[in-house]
Amino acid sequence: MADVPPSGDPVSATPYQQLEQEWKRLHAFRGALALLRWDAAVMMPKGSAEIRGEQLAALETEHHALLTAPRISRLLDRAQANIQGNNDWQVANLREMRRQRDHAIATPVSLVSRLARATSQAEVKWVEARGANDFAIFAPHLEEVLHLVRDKAQLLGQALNLAPYDALIDEFSPGITMADIDAMFKSLSRRVPTLIREAIALQAKHPSLPLTGKFPLAKQRQLVTELMKALGFSFENGRIDESEHPFTEGVPGDIRITTSYSTDDLFSGVLGALHETGHAMYDLGLPREWRGQPVGRDRGMAIEESQSLLIEMILCRSRPFVRYLQPLLVKHFGVEGPEWEVENIYAHLTRVRRGLIRVDADELTYALHIQLRYELEKKLLAGQLAVRELPAAWAEFMQDRFGVSPANHREGCLQDIHWAVGSFGYFPSYALGAAIAAQLYEKLRTDIPALDEQVARGEFGGLFAWLREHVHSLGSKVTTQELLKNATGKPLSAASALRYLEGKYLEDPAARTAAA
């Protein structure tokens, strides 16, 4: 026999080192799961959904079993006793390992598999109900999912010593609580509704020209590739494809993003790709030496969304970026005429509308869409709102705050997939992400005075170096709140977001002309 020792020989390894080995394996499972999901959305033949479901379930169950094995708990206790307090990263890694184990162990495998089955049925029924515009098709399945999520929230809450809804938030955005979100929405509510009115009135005085045309897919793909390369996306470690809805999957080192192109609408596919590029740049910038370890992972969905929204909403819908983009549109599509001048494109990309659809919303009305979902999901979980009352409650909120009512459920409470797949506690991440993005951006602009000039020249190195230093490279070393405090000197608040939105949407027309 050859005398090469087997890999990962644990005989002489410390408990902490053994834990790192265990998580390396868990990480490999997570990577495999990510690829199976990516393939299902992008490549898989239609008839293979059931087979893929079985593969996902088998790997998820195994991952759960590995994570909740008694051996892990024993090693965590022994490692905790031995860890050297002066190695911040190892201490943080151990904390995150324990967090993952606590989450997993609090949800028994029977509940995990019930939820998996209930949500996979609910997702199918959600699609069917949308098609038939019949909420009754979906309602009993949402009831079932809600029932199971409530059980899960109870169990998680007990285990983590958190209120049930806070326990659900903790899964997506660790360290953020309902109190933080309430405070944020309270600040936003005071100003945003009037700001929307003022912005719409101001924009009505300067109507933009429509950007119509046919935009061949092949050229859109070329443009997107060029933009992604300019932003610094590594095609050596990732790729872009197409799927029904844009998403980011994979693991750092193999990031798969998608977008969804339309030949009629140039910006939906391009901005979708840029949003996901924001996620990808975060994932690709996570600390390489901690790859595969919990502390090396992203800090949750609030920070994830801050990175995608900072790129898509703040950067790409800024005047300097449009200056950089405009010649590329001319180059790729041969567009010309007054509607394709910088100011008109910028006006198009910052147009405020009281619309019914969240994913089409501008950045000013977006927070209201999230607030609706946040309020309703809290009530559903608390049993203060019955599933059958959901459509009416939805319509009432929209009428009350937007002055518009959904004409059908597709435009109403059936527009999002999140609840069907059991993602309660997820929606706030979007609003938190937007607030965090604005707070980071405010500091970033102070630290890089020449940012606008760089962006207009298509130079994004300074921007991403800042983000890498203050956000990406930290992984999960500190909490969301600490990260923000360290990066900006201030705790999480909506103040920067409000300053940013006021500055952008109440801009003095004189400034606009001067800038043009």
Binding site for a copy of itself (CB under 8 A): 1-2, 4, 6-7, 24-25, 27-29, 31-32, 35-36, 39, 43-48, 50-52, 54-55, 57-59, 62, 109-111, 113-114, 117-118, 144, 147-148, 151, 234-239, 251, 253-254, 292
Q: Could you tell me the smallest distance in angstroms from the CB atom of residue 147 to a copy of itself?
A: 6
- Which residue lies nearer to a copy of itself by CB, 285 or 412? 285
- Which residue lies nearer to a copy of itself by CB, 149 or 302? 149
Q: Which residues share a beta bridge with 490?
A: none
- Which residue lies nearer to a copy of itself by CB, 5 or 449? 5
Instruction: Evaluate whether 489 touches 470 at the Cβ level (below 8 Å).
Output: no
- Which residue lies nearer to a copy of itself by CB, 72 or 251? 251
Out of 22, 60, 171, 276, the active site residue is 276
Q: Could you tell me the smallest distance in angstroms from the CB atom of residue 356 to a copy of itself?
A: 33
Q: Could you tell me the smallest distance in angstroms from the CB atom of residue 144 to a copy of itself?
A: 7
Instruction: Specify the long-range contacts of residues 67-73, CB closer than 8 Å, at least 24 apart.
Output: 67/26, 67/100, 67/101, 67/104, 67/105, 68/101, 68/104, 68/105, 68/109, 71/22, 72/19, 72/22, 72/97, 72/101, 73/101, 73/105
What are the tokens at 200? 């719409």
Residue 230: exposure state from Cβ atoms within 10 A (0-12, 13-18, ≥19): middle
Residue 59: enclosing H or E segment and its boundaries? helix 49-67
What are the tokens at 121? 């049925």
Q: Could you tell me the smallest distance in angstroms from the CB atom of residue 467 to a copy of itself?
A: 21
Q: Could you tell me the smallest distance in angstroms from the CB atom of residue 167 to a copy of itself?
A: 17
- Which residue lies nearer to a copy of itself by CB, 114 or 443? 114
- Which residue lies nearer to a copy of itself by CB, 253 or 458? 253
What is the 8-class DSSP label of residue 315? I
Q: Could you tell me the smallest distance in angstroms from the CB atom of residue 236 to a copy of itself?
A: 4
To the query of whether residue 276 is one of the catalytic residues in this protein, the response is yes
* Residues making up the chain, counted from first to last: 516
What is the 8-class DSSP label of residue 79? H
Strand 254-259, strand 248-251: pairing: antiparallel
What are the tokens at 94? 């151990």
How many beta carbons lie within 10 A of that of residue 408, not counting itself?
A: 13
- Which residue lies nearer to a copy of itself by CB, 154 or 446? 154
Q: Could you tell me the smallest distance in angstroms from the CB atom of residue 270 to a copy of itself?
A: 21
Nearest to 219 by CA among 340, 334, 328, 332: 332
Instruction: Evaluate whether 283 touches 311 at the Cβ level (below 8 Å).
Output: no
State how far the Cα of 282 lies from the Cα of 231, in Å rounded to an integer.
12
Block residue for tokens 């518009």:
404
Torsion, Cα 493 497 499 505, to 10 degrees, reads: -160
What are the tokens at 173? 């955005």
State how far the Cα of 149 lies from the Cα of 144, in Å rounded to an integer.
9
Instruction: Evaluate whether 294 touches 24 at the Cβ level (below 8 Å).
Output: no
- Which residue lies nearer to a copy of itself by CB, 36 or 139? 36
Q: Could you tell me the smallest distance in angstroms from the CB atom of residue 237 to a copy of itself?
A: 4
- Which residue lies nearer to a copy of itself by CB, 150 or 354? 150
- Sequence-distant (6+) residues with CB within 8 A of 311 are 231, 274, 275, 277, 278, 281
Residue 153: enclosing H or E segment and its boundaries? helix 135-160
Residues annotated catalytic, as ranges: 276
